[in-house]
Structure 1
Amino acid sequence: MNNRRSFFKKSAAISLGAFGAHSLFNTLHAKEFKMAESLLNGEDGSPEDYWSVIQEAYTASKSDILILNNGGVSPSPTAVQVALERYNLTAAQGPSYYMWRIMDKGREPLRQRLAGLAGVDADEVAINRNATEALNTVIFGMPLQKGDEVIGTTLDYPNMMHAWNQRKLRDGIVYKQLVFDFPIENDDTIVKAYEQAITPKTKVIHITHIINWVGQIMPVRKISQMAHKHGIEVIVDGAHSFGLLDFKIPDLECDYFGTSLHKFLSAPLGTGMMWIKKDKIAKIFPLSGSEHPQSTDIRKFETLGTRSFCIEQAIGEAINFQEAIGSKRKEERVHFLKHYWGSQAIKIPGVRLHTSLKPEYSCAIAGVTVDGLTPQELDRALFKDFKIHTTAMVYKNVSCVRVTPHVYTSLADLDHLLEALDSIARKV
């Protein structure tokens, strides 16, 4: 009898997961976060006192290397790591039971929480593995015909460009790509470029909310408004914006949105979300076969076969973490970090920034170069001599090293980056 009580108690705890009073966030972080709030708002505290508590919640803040490639993928805070480990350990005791009959029950509460974070109806949200899967589902599921035109840019994410080129090859659509030289600090310049590319055959505009190569924030809402005046649908790649910028999806006025949750939301690797405006769901065919492919049910896009529900359920703790900080505060902090190092870096002789420092045009990501060095050489020097992990971005008209801090990045970390850039520039 005691074993049965223990079993049902354990099963209930798993199904509630991050949404019960005993969530791992509440257990591991809530008390410290509450104390940090008092430091932030009190006379005796400072912003850095608050953010030091957030930094401590990430094991990555104690890494042997300084991680400044959070634009690629972000580490998770302790609560998310522990949640994933516990789900995995439980599932290992009987995967077909715990995954399919217990953890699977957590998807609908998770859908509700993601919808709340995104500001949309839960019946418009599908949970998947990343932005590529979300956006490819829309791209390949749209009923486009030969001769229909799609407008994107040469600096959209490669997987999305590959998908459009595949539709071009397979279906004969026309895929136009605009060329921008970023940074651009004028929304009208960007909107006008899209509008001038429109013809009577244009059906879709594809927008990358934050350009992953150099961090330019695109004026999505203005482009969407312009596109809709011409009867054109808008797809938004929000891989780098969701969980970072303070917005709700309806603010963008787009029709489709896809994101990776393992970037700035700090959810487990291999988690993503797709949003489709309710009246558009029926016409989008699922990427994976569904019994009812023209259904209005967003869940038709979740027929992915066996996958890890453990990873999926741990997203809940990342949402708890995000909401405890607050989206506005998080955006402001990460922009502050970018501005902190960027505004000082440009004062170093030979160091150049390739991203706007203004908050309306960039947030976390910034591109940097040192005169006399290729991006690959600078990237290697930063890691070899200073154990700073960045990434070289050489593509089309972009040639720089991408630097991306996160909330767990300290000012001391960025001071180390500045010392490294200064030292490297002096040696060239």
Structure 2
Amino acid sequence: MMSRPFDRRTLFKHTALFTGAVTGALALPLSIGKAEDLDAWLSNQGGPSLKDQRSPGIIARDEAYWARVRGLYHLQPDVVNLDHGWTNPPPRAAMTELTARARTLEALPAEQLPKQWETISTTKMRAALAAAMNVQPTEIALVRNATEALDTVLLGFPLKAGDEVVCSAHDYYAMLDALEQRRARDGIVLKMINPPVPAPSMNALEALYVDAITSRTRLVLLTHPSNLTGQYLPVRRISEHAHRVGAEVVVDAAQSLGLLDDPLMSLGCDYYGASAHKWLGTPVGLGVLWMRPEHVAKIWPLLPPMKEEKGMARFEWIGTAPEYVNPASIPAIALHAALGASRKAERLKYLSSYLREKITRAFPNARFYASHELSGTLTHVEFQGVDPIALQKRLREQHGILIQGMGGIRSDPSLRAIRISPNVFTARTELDRFVAAASREIPRLEKRG
């Protein structure tokens, strides 16, 4: 059984337990312990009010609200950043804390590194991150990114020759590389699903996995959603079927942590890995691994831990590391708590809808890789005859617009889309600017092709 989840009040409490190495307007004050104190802090920085009782769907369309959120960040002014699916910029308060913590640590690392780990990272920051996930702090391991979290499971799960692992051509390449290594080393069998693009329905996706899972299946990898298509999966339904045949489920949630009110328990999985520097908006270098307590002992860590380490701490040993990332993540998690996952998700869904409508009008033959109903944060669109990498380069160099070109995918070479991933503070005018720039560049690239 999973532990009783934390509530939102607990999240505020633990983001408040901040040692305050930084002084100044943007640092979280020591007195924050309640939602009203966090509201006052946000108001002082020009941010939105937590007292706004409008529904997330209404707030999603309020450009003034999200402009105030934008004011909490230090962004590069000459770039329209539409590539937040890779990494999100942290808020200014986190950047301020990051630089101060780095100076303090690097000036006396032998003392400051263990001190910051013991007094902040493994206590205050761990509790805040666990609360954002609705789990207990003892159930998570602090790692560097989703790849480290998920490869811990994929490489450490007990498998022998002939055991089956179900995965998808649209899983992240680092996870597939780990499974290929298990196949070469241990003789496991990979059952690779090739989902249709776009998928017609959640039922159709579920059926693909149900057909692939057999009595010999030991592990199922599910990506939620796919980095390559933006497609969500019916994770809970697939998990239930896998459990009925004795298989276990590992979820790559790099693209959904921070956008679901109940990001983990709602999935019904056994293992869960994600990066906090995507939609939770922490500085780069923080990931998280969770697993059901009954599975912890059987997973081999990536690096051998010290003998006295127990529980999830077994998966945290990486040697000397830039410890200042963890304390600097607390202001970012506090801002996430203030905005709320549902508001963020609705805003991104609204921007995705707005963008799709603009693209469809400008390019009637554009091909989206997932329907609007089955996707959310990521918009993948293919323009026939256009090299997505060339389009990415043209938009960046000629228009100061950053998107992601998705070409040359080893697991599915047919994918040739660009990925557009705005942030919650992205303005509609920036999406208009992208469509206008694409309208100028795409005809030139089509003629070249």
Same fold (TM over 0.5): yes
Question: How many aligned residue pairs are there?
Answer: 414
- Corresponding residue of 2:421: 404
Query: What is the 5 A alignment of 1:186-201?
Result: 186-201=201-216
Q: Is 1:125–2:140 an aligned residue pair?
A: yes
CA contact (8 A) 1:353 1:366 kept: no
Distance in structure 1 (CA, Å) of the matches to 2:89 and 2:62: 22
Q: Which amino acid aligns with 1:82?
A: T
Q: Which amino acid aligns with 1:78?
A: R
1:247 aligned to which of 262, 286, 296? 262
Distance in structure 1 (CA, Å) of the matches to 2:51 and 2:217: 53
Distance in structure 1 (CA, Å) of the matches to 2:313 and 2:328: 19
Cα deviation, 1:381-410, whole Å, max 9, x if unaligned, reads 222321111111122131111111011211
CA contact (8 A) 1:68 1:389 kept: yes
- Any idea what SS the aligned residue of 2:142 has? strand
Q: Is 1:392–2:405 an aligned residue pair?
A: yes
2:385 aligned to which of 372, 382, 402? 372
- Corresponding residue of 1:47: 62
- Corresponding residue of 1:382: 395
Distance in structure 2 (CA, Å) of the matches to 1:22 and 1:121: 22
Give the C-alpha shift of residue 101 in structure 1.
2.2
Distance in structure 2 (CA, Å) of the matches to 1:241 and 1:266: 12
CA contact (8 A) 2:358 2:432 kept: no
Q: Which amino acid aligns with 2:431?
A: L
- Corresponding residue of 2:358: 344
CA contact (8 A) 2:285 2:325 kept: yes
Q: Residues 297 and 14 (structure 1 numbering): CA distance in 2 closer, same or farther, change over 3 Å?
A: farther
Query: What is the 5 A alignment of 1:89-128?
Result: 89-106=103-120, 107-128=122-143
CA contact (8 A) 1:342 1:353 kept: no
Greater Cα shift, 361-370 or 78-87: 361-370
- Any idea what SS the aligned residue of 2:65 has? helix
Q: Is 1:417–2:434 an aligned residue pair?
A: yes
CA contact (8 A) 1:73 1:262 kept: yes
2:162 aligned to which of 147, 161, 165? 147
- Any idea what SS the aligned residue of 2:107 has? coil
Q: Which amino acid aligns with 1:100?
A: P
Q: Residues 419 and 334 (structure 1 numbering): CA distance in 2 closer, same or farther, change over 3 Å?
A: same
Q: Residues 30 and 137 (structure 1 numbering): CA distance in 2 closer, same or farther, change over 3 Å?
A: farther
2:324 aligned to which of 310, 314, 326? 310
CA contact (8 A) 1:236 1:254 kept: yes
Distance in structure 2 (CA, Å) of the matches to 1:264 and 1:137: 22
- Corresponding residue of 1:6: none
Query: What is the 5 A alignment of 1:208-227?
Result: 208-227=223-242
Give the C-alpha shift of residue 380 in structure 1.
2.2
CA contact (8 A) 1:330 1:407 kept: yes
Query: What is the 5 A alignment of 1:230-241?
Result: 230-241=245-256
CA contact (8 A) 2:22 2:100 kept: no
RMSD between aligned alpha carbons?
A: 2.7
- Corresponding residue of 1:63: 77
CA contact (8 A) 1:155 1:213 kept: yes
1:290 aligned to which of 305, 329, 334? 305
- Any idea what SS the aligned residue of 1:346 has? helix
Q: Residues 12 and 272 (structure 1 numbering): CA distance in 2 closer, same or farther, change over 3 Å?
A: closer
- Any idea what SS the aligned residue of 1:398 has? coil
Distance in structure 2 (CA, Å) of the matches to 1:22 and 1:398: 47
| Identity between Structure 1 and Structure 2 (%) | 30
Q: Residues 100 and 30 (structure 1 numbering): CA distance in 2 closer, same or farther, change over 3 Å?
A: farther
Greater Cα shift, 18-27 or 241-250: 18-27
2:177 aligned to which of 152, 162, 181? 162
Distance in structure 2 (CA, Å) of the matches to 1:336 and 1:183: 20
- Any idea what SS the aligned residue of 1:203 has? strand
Q: Which amino acid aligns with 2:109?
A: P
Give the C-alpha shift of residue 39 in structure 1.
7.1
CA contact (8 A) 1:370 1:378 kept: no
Greater Cα shift, 107-116 or 167-176: 107-116
Cα deviation, 1:317-372, whole Å, max 9, x if unaligned, reads 1110101101100000011111111122011135514233434x111111123333
Q: Residues 128 and 25 (structure 1 numbering): CA distance in 2 closer, same or farther, change over 3 Å?
A: farther
- Corresponding residue of 1:83: 97
Distance in structure 1 (CA, Å) of the matches to 2:306 and 2:117: 23
Q: Residues 46 and 273 (structure 1 numbering): CA distance in 2 closer, same or farther, change over 3 Å?
A: closer
Q: Residues 51 and 25 (structure 1 numbering): CA distance in 2 closer, same or farther, change over 3 Å?
A: same
- Any idea what SS the aligned residue of 1:309 has? coil
Gaps of 5+ in 1: 1-10
Q: Is 1:331–2:345 an aligned residue pair?
A: yes
Give the C-alpha shift of residue 244 in structure 1.
2.6
Distance in structure 2 (CA, Å) of the matches to 1:391 and 1:116: 32
Gaps of 5+ in 2: 1-17
Distance in structure 2 (CA, Å) of the matches to 1:231 and 1:156: 22
CA contact (8 A) 1:149 1:174 kept: yes
CA contact (8 A) 1:141 1:284 kept: yes
Q: Residues 305 and 53 (structure 1 numbering): CA distance in 2 closer, same or farther, change over 3 Å?
A: same
Q: Is 1:203–2:222 an aligned residue pair?
A: no
Q: Is 1:322–2:336 an aligned residue pair?
A: yes
CA contact (8 A) 2:167 2:222 kept: yes
- Corresponding residue of 2:8: none
Cα deviation, 1:28-64, whole Å, max 9, x if unaligned, reads 6343466545678599x9711111101111212x521
Greater Cα shift, 162-171 or 307-316: 307-316
Q: Which amino acid aligns with 1:65?
A: V
